[in-house]
Amino acid sequence: MRPIRDLAIIGGGIGGVSSAIYAKRAGLDFLFFESNAVGGQLLFMENVDNYVGLEIGIRGQDFAKKLEKNLKDLRIDVCQEEIVKVEEKTAKVEVHSGSSSYEAKGLIVATGASPLKLAIPGEDGFVGKGVSYCAICDGFFFKDKEVVVVGGGNTAVEEALYLAQLARKVTLIHRKNHLRALQYLQAKLFQKDNIEVIFESVVKELKGKEFLEGLILENTQTHQRHTLPTSGLFIAVGVKPNTEIVKNIVSTDEKGFIITDNEMRTSSNCIWACGDCRLRPLRQLITAASEGALATLSAYKYLKGHYIST
């Protein structure tokens, strides 16, 4: 086991990066873990148009590069190890990757969330063969084809708008009779000539041989079914938190989101959480960044004895 550190931060999205920056400026001895690329959900966003101080429409990947540069400029090293297990000990935590173990007096969980699946017949078998959870990642493969997006929130509408630049036609499927997306996004959506919206419908099954060829849709009111031919299905129906490594250590809600107080403290004395893995009213980049700062400042107060945890 290596020497005990002040703090460990797991997750390289904007919340985790914010935590790391504040930990560096606070003079803490910390480790920052991200097994993939820095940026988190930014890597899957075409544009960001609501982050204060940045140019409207900045590409998500370009924003992620800015975060990487922040880390480099501050000489913050990224430990590219996947943390697979966390153990709470007396006044400390142990975090374990596949090959190494580390000890820290405090832990910030910034592990984000992953797309939910539809959990329907054929879904798993067609992943990478017509089924995708990221239009930016896979949209290019469906240039001039007909594709379907499932969902009714901001992400689903943004995916449909992005795909409309590549595909011949995009069909948006939503189970309700209205979308949840922000009005300005809906306005853009309904202005597109090559986007059709089908309300009050759900996808029940996927069909095809080697690759996806069509969907079976069911009307939620009449329960009538019909087949919709398509080459691609992009699923945007929500997210699940990446909290498996701490689910038996800290309190979560029924969906697995970590419950914290206003200072990002969890039910554990030495664990904090921020970003999309946390139960929060607004899942936005700007709120994740602020939560990352709060989590580190709260951890700093704990480490320096400025408050007594209950």
Active-site residue numbers?
134, 137-138
Distance, in Å, from the CA atom of 106 to the CA atom of 5, rounded to the nearest integer, reads 8
Are residues 190 and 159 in contact, defined by beta-carbon separation less than 8 angstroms? no
Distances (CA, A) of 35 to 2, 4, 28, 214: 19, 21, 22, 35
Distances (CA, A) of 173 to 121, 197, 205, 211: 17, 6, 14, 20
Q: Given the DSSP bridges, would you call strands 239-241 and 113-115 parallel, antiparallel or unpaired?
A: antiparallel
Distance, in Å, from the CA atom of 61 to the CA atom of 38, rounded to the nearest integer, reads 10
Residue reference for tokens 């946390």:
278
